[in-house]
Amino acid sequence: MIPVLEIFGPTIQGEGAVIGKKTMFVRTAGCDFRCSWCDSSFTWDGSQKHLIQRMTAEEVYNELNKLAPNNFNHVTISGGNPALIKSLDSLVRLLKIQHIEIAVETQGTVFHSWLNEVDDLTISPKPRSSGMNQSLEQLDQFINSTKAVKRRSLKVVVFDEDDIEDALIYHKRYPDIPFYIQVGNPFLNESVENHRDYLLSRYEWLIESVMNDERFLNVHILPQLHTILWSNKQKV
């Protein structure tokens, strides 16, 4: 059984290497991290425990079809940390049989073999502002174990200058993996006035900081497109 917190879409992938792509989302419950600025803390802080459904792969697939009949060919699995869940192998198998592309978002702490079957794997190690002290040895192991994935990318969320230094550590450690820097969203409460102006000014700050830093060459600098549009609303 897969612990599912929400299934939604179609929407756009708002982050990373496939930003803008039309996709469905399956969000699993539970995380091994507790990032201070987690925009999905409801997956692990107990506040939406009553909404967690234990579903089979077939039930998840039926729900996706109910939400978007004949209107999706791409599913993004996020969380929480979906990589904690061994039983996602059944969903990955089922989606592949149906010729549906699969993307996964994870922080790179825990590996299961089904990860090697996904099409787009986003690995998002954490900078110090998260309060997490991510093990580089564990991340090395994860990176080594996922070499067979069709497309992999690294995505580091940045809130301040110290985080930029941490992003550089990850970029230098894995120079051959496409590298994305994403501006942090401090507005975890969905209704904030002028969130767009503020988020865009933070994005501008990040572009200026990284563009003028010759230690970064092969880098993509991105906002969270969906939070510019909809702030930190759930199910978008």
Q: Which does 153 bind (CB under 5 to 8 A by kind): ligand SF4, ligand 2KA, ligand SAM, none?
A: none
The residues in 97-136 that bind ligand 2KA, with binding defined as CB under 6 A, are 105
Instruction: Provide the minimum distance between the beta carbon of 29 and ligand SAM in the complex, in angstroms, as a whole number.
Output: 11
Instruction: Provide the minimum distance between the beta carbon of 184 and ligand 2KA in the complex, in angstroms, as a whole number.
Output: 13
The residues in 103-132 that bind ligand SF4, with binding defined as CB under 6 A, are 107
For residue 43, the one-letter residue type is T
Q: Which does 118 bind (CB under 5 to 8 A by kind): ligand 2KA, ligand SAM, ligand SF4, none?
A: none
Rg (CA), the chain: 17
184 is in an annotated binding site: no
85 is in an annotated binding site: no
Q: Which residues contact 48 (CB under 8 A, 6 or more apart)?
A: 5, 42
Q: Which does 12 bind (CB under 5 to 8 A by kind): ligand SAM, ligand 2KA, ligand SF4, none?
A: ligand 2KA
For the window 39-78, what string marks contact with ligand SF4 as x by the rule CB under 6 A?
-x--x-----------------------------------
* Greatest Cα pair distance in the chain: 49
Instruction: Give dist(CA 6, CA 195) in Å, integer.
Output: 24
Cα dihedral sign, 193-199-204-206: positive
Instruction: Provide the minimum distance between the beta carbon of 234 and ligand 2KA in the complex, in angstroms, as a whole number.
Output: 8
Closest C-alpha to 185, from 41, 39, 79, 44:
39
**Residue 100 to residues 17, 29, 34, 117: CA-CA distances in angstroms?**
18, 22, 31, 12
Positions that interact with ligand SAM (CB under 6 A): 31, 37-40, 78-81, 105-107, 124, 155, 157, 182, 184-185, 224
**Residue 160 to residues 37, 157, 167, 202: CA-CA distances in angstroms?**
13, 10, 11, 10
Question: What H or E segment, with its residue span, contains residue 145?
Answer: helix 136-145
Binding site for ligand 2KA (CB under 6 A): 11-15, 40, 78, 105, 226, 236
Q: Write out the binding residues.
A: 12-14, 27, 31, 35, 37-40, 78, 80, 124-126
